């Protein structure tokens, strides 16, 4: 390649030829192995390898075209976009939690538990490669042989970890990896083109294919079966949590408000008493012997402070005030007002300092509203009636209206989890994230009529004879 006409050696980065030589040989060998009747002995030869190298030089160096992984590692594109990559190798890193020692084993190593090992696979777009960390469900699929070298994966929502800096694929550190989750990863067809997928948005997935511990869910297409009343979760100082309905939360908020007002009143009363004592002591130290002022002496006073000091020390304050002209009265009144405002501000500052000190001993309430809805998979296949519970933290009015019962939505970017709080809930639960988005979809009533049932009024006598089979839930009205 270096002696080929049209190739500038100074433009080729260090390690570029070795990297592309590896992937070209890997691709050509795979073609001969997969289709021996058509390509045996015809692909993997020096001429084909050289032609492929020259093609990649023209594309990447002359025309400045970059592959998907190169754009991601150089921070010029998002790792969360839908991308198709091929598994090129598998490595299991077993960690000793006590000694901190690490030992790399091969794909078929035995005795490596899910909590003792993290599985790392190498993914390639045919031009460059990057290591990827698998979560527990993907690791389980790998151990069962569902994920293997040469398999193509369609990935959405991957996260680039290990470094925040843009780096060339040829200079990437070993700590730079993609974190992929089972709920956003699916197998791709063998002939799918590697690189960014033409549809960059998350692809909708059926609920029955999701894992409770499979991480982020890119998109689900669901129908809202039930919307439950808003709950309020309060985290107590001892670390426990309490859930309340709207009425109980209002009572608790009023009780806390009364206690807070009572505490503020007690602090203010104490500070006011201390402030009055300080003012009395200050007035006692600055008090002067009573004096008598003649009208002539009073007319000479112009400074507002002198007027106030003379007025407070006068033996007959009413006579002193009668002798003042209009300008003197205005100056005296302004000084009184300024002195009163200064004392009021000082009192407020003392109260604020005392309250800040006392506020550390008063536990503040940490309350978060929570809305739960029951979802069912929207599918033309009547057999797929998988349900899930979605928890939305801090829902606004728009979200509450969107999640009306009977509506069909596509919900993006959810976090999956298992059932935590009580029995009777579906094994699959979702939690909203900051990136969660909702999109309303049109409804085919032939499908929804089979999976959605509206609420209806039932008497207690009917419940005794025919217990509700739908979700085993009833709402009491009356």
The predicted-structure confidence for 292-309, as pLDDT tens digits, reads as follows: 666 766 666 666 666 666
Q: What's the pLDDT at 381?
A: 66
Q: What's the pLDDT at 115?
A: 39
Whole-number percent of the chain with pLDDT over 70: 79
Q: What's the pLDDT at 105?
A: 44
- Say if 66-93+117-201 and 221-237+367-472 have the same CATH topology: yes
Q: What's the pLDDT at 262?
A: 84
Q: Report helix angle 326-359 to 304-313, nearest 10.
A: 90
Calculate mean pLDDT across residues 143-161. 91
d(CA 257, CA 268): 16
Domain boundaries, the chain: 1-64, 66-93+117-201, 221-237+367-472, 251-360
Q: What's the pLDDT at 346?
A: 80
Highest mean pLDDT among 108-122, 123-137, 197-211, 300-314: 123-137
Q: What's the pLDDT tens digit per position in 402-447?
A: 999 889 999 999 999 876 555 555 678 899 989 899 999 888 877 7
CA-to-CA separations, 313 to 123, 287, 316, 318, in angstroms, rounded = 92, 7, 9, 12
Q: What's the pLDDT at 428?
A: 85
Look up residue 395 and give its two tokens.
């829902």
Q: What's the pLDDT at 361?
A: 58
Dihedral of the alpha carbons of 99, 105, 107, 110, in degrees to the nearest 10? -60
Q: What's the pLDDT at 108?
A: 38
Flag whether pLDDT at 106 surpasses 70: no
- Tell me what the pLDDT averaged over the chain comes to: 81
Closest CA to 58 of 114, 4, 22: 4
Calculate mean pLDDT across residues 464-472. 67
Calculate mean pLDDT across residues 49-70. 91
- How far is C-alpha 430 from the chain's CA centre? 14
Flag whether pLDDT at 93 surpasses 70: no
Q: Is 417 helix (H, G, I), strand (E, B) or coil?
A: strand
Q: What's the pLDDT at 411?
A: 93
Calculate mean pLDDT across residues 239-243. 87
Lowest mean pLDDT among 29-43, 53-67, 176-190, 308-322: 308-322
Calculate mean pLDDT across residues 389-402. 91
Task: Yes or no: say if 374 and 229 are a contact pair by the CB < 8 Å rule.
Answer: no
| Better pLDDT: 106 or 54 | 54
DSSP assignment of 431-446: EEEEEEEEEE----HH
* Residue 194 pLDDT grade (very low, low, confident, very high; cuts 50, 70, 90): very high
Closest CA to 75 of 12, 168, 157, 153: 168
Q: Which CATH architecture has domain 66-93+117-201?
A: Beta Barrel (2.40)
Flag whether pLDDT at 96 surpasses 70: no
φ/ψ of residue 132, rounded to 5: -135, 135
The superfamily (CATH) of domain 221-237+367-472 is Nucleic acid-binding proteins (2.40.50.140)
Vertex 206, ends 450 and 131: CA angle to 5°? 175
Q: What's the pLDDT at 128?
A: 94
Q: What's the pLDDT at 387?
A: 87
Lowest mean pLDDT among 112-116, 170-174, 460-464: 112-116
Flag whether pLDDT at 97 surpasses 50: no
């Amino acid at each position: 390649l270096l002696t080929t006409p049209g190739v500038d050696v100074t433009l080729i980065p260090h390690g570029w030829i070795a990297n592309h030589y590896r992937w070209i040989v890997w691709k050509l060998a795979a073609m001969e192995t997969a289709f021996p009747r058509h390509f045996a002995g015809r692909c993997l030869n020096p001429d084909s390898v050289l032609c492929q190298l020259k093609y990649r030089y023209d594309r990447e160096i002359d025309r400045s075209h970059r592959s998907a992984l190169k754009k991601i590692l150089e921070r010029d594109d998002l790792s969360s976009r839908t991308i198709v990559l091929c598994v090129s190798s598998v490595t299991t890193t077993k960690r000793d939690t006590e000694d901190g020692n690490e030992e790399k084993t091969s794909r078929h190593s035995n005795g490596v538990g899910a909590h003792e090992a993290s599985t790392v696979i190498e993914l390639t777009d045919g031009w460059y490669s990057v290591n990827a960390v698998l979560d527990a469900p993907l690791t389980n699929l790998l151990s069962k042989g569902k994920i293997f070298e040469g398999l193509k994966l369609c990935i959405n929502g991957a996260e680039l970890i290990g470094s925040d800096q843009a780096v060339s694929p040829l200079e990437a550190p070993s700590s730079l990896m993609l974190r992929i989750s089972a709920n956003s990863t699916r197998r791709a067809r063998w002939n799918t083109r590697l690189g960014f997928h033409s549809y960059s948005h998350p692809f909708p997935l059926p609920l029955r294919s999701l894992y409770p511990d499979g991480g982020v869910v890119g998109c689900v297409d669901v129908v809202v079966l039930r919307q439950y009343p808003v709950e309020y979760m309060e985290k107590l100082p001892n670390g426990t949590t309490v859930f309340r309905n709207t009425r109980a939360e209002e009572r608790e908020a009023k009780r806390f408000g009364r206690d807070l007002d009572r505490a503020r009143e007690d602090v203010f009363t104490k500070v006011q008493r201390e402030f009055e004592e300080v003012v009395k002591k200050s007035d006692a130290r600055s008090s002067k012997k009573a004096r008598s002022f003649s009208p002539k002496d009073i007319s000479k006073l112009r400074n507002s402070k002198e007027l106030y000091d003379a007025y407070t020390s006068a033996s007959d304050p009413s006579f002193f005030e009668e002798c003042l002209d209009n300008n003197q009265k205005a100056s005296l009144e302004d000084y009184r007002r300024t002195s009163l405002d200064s004392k009021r501000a000082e009192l407020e500052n003392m109260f604020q300092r005392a309250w800040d000190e006392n506020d550390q001993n008063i536990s503040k309430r940490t309350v978060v509203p929570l809305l739960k809805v029951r979802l069912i998979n929207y599918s033309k296949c009547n057999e797929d009636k998988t349900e899930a519970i979605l928890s939305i933290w801090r829902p606004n009015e728009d979200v509450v209206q969107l999640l009306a019962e009977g509506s069909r939505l596509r919900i993006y970017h959810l976090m999956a989890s298992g059932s935590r709080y009580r029995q009777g809930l579906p094994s699959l639960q979702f939690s909203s994230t900051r990136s969660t988005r909702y999109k309303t979809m049109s409804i085919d009533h032939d499908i929804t009529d089979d999976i959605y049932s509206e609420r209806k009024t039932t008497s207690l006598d009917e419940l005794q004879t025919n217990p509700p089979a739908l979700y085993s839930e009833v709402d009491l009205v009356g």
